[in-house]
Amino acid sequence: MKKWVVFLDSGDTLVDETTQEFDERGIVLRARLIPGALELLKALRREGIPVAMVADGQAESFRNVYRGLGLESYFAQRIYSSDVGAEKPSPLMFETALRAMGLTEADKDRIVMMGNHVRKDIAGANRFGITSVLLDWSRRYPTVPETPDETPDYIVHTPLELLRVLSLPREE
């Protein structure tokens, strides 16, 4: 079986954006997970699959949210656009994650990116040459592909369905 590495988006992939609470500067103070997100993170940890967060937004927001949820330890690396200076679909975001995870070009065939946004997560992953998985749990952002680049390799409706894509068991 492939030794997968998983890249995960945050907003509406792990965290429910409708639950975000902001301060006066627009920094997210706290937010809640979408159903199944915690179970996914636990399952990936149980299976020994390294996970990187690859997310657009302010590092401070993500630190608040994931520290508040007690989930920072689930990510081997966290790549934020505010640190990188570019947003998805920029290859810089994915390249930064690749290198931070200690991976190379040769590892691309075992990396999967799951996100909710076809123009950012899916087009970015496809152009970078890694497997793309669209999570269409939320319809807040474009989830209908308009170009071949935006067409995901797989579509899932809940976070845990990623395990099926990776051919992993679901049970505890």
Instruction: Answer yes or no whether residue 12 interacts with Mg ion by CB under 5 A.
Output: yes
Instruction: Answer yes or no whether residue 36 interacts with Mg ion by CB under 5 A.
Output: no
∠ Cα 164 4 97 (to 5°): 120
Rounded Cα distance, 172 and 158, in Å: 17
The H or E element that residue 126 is part of is helix 123-128
Which one of residues 4, 6, 8, 11 is an interface residue with Mg ion (CB under 5 A)? 11
Residue numbers 111-140 binding Mg ion by CB under 5 A: 116
CB of 15 to Mg ion, least distance (A): 9
Residue 167 region by backbone torsions, left for phi larger than 0, else alpha for psi between -120 and 50, else beta: left
Closest to Mg ion by CB, 12 vs 161, is 12
Q: Which stretch binds Mg ion (CB under 5 A): 11-19, 30-38, 68-76, 93-101?
A: 11-19
State which residue has the least CB distance to Mg ion: 11
Of the candidates 157, 80, 94, the residue with the CA atom closest to the CA atom of residue 126 = 94
Strand partners, 115: 134
CB of 53 to Mg ion, least distance (A): 11
Instruction: Answer yes or no whether residue 161 interacts with Mg ion by CB under 5 A.
Output: no
> Interface with Mg ion by CB under 5 A: which residues?
9, 11-12, 116
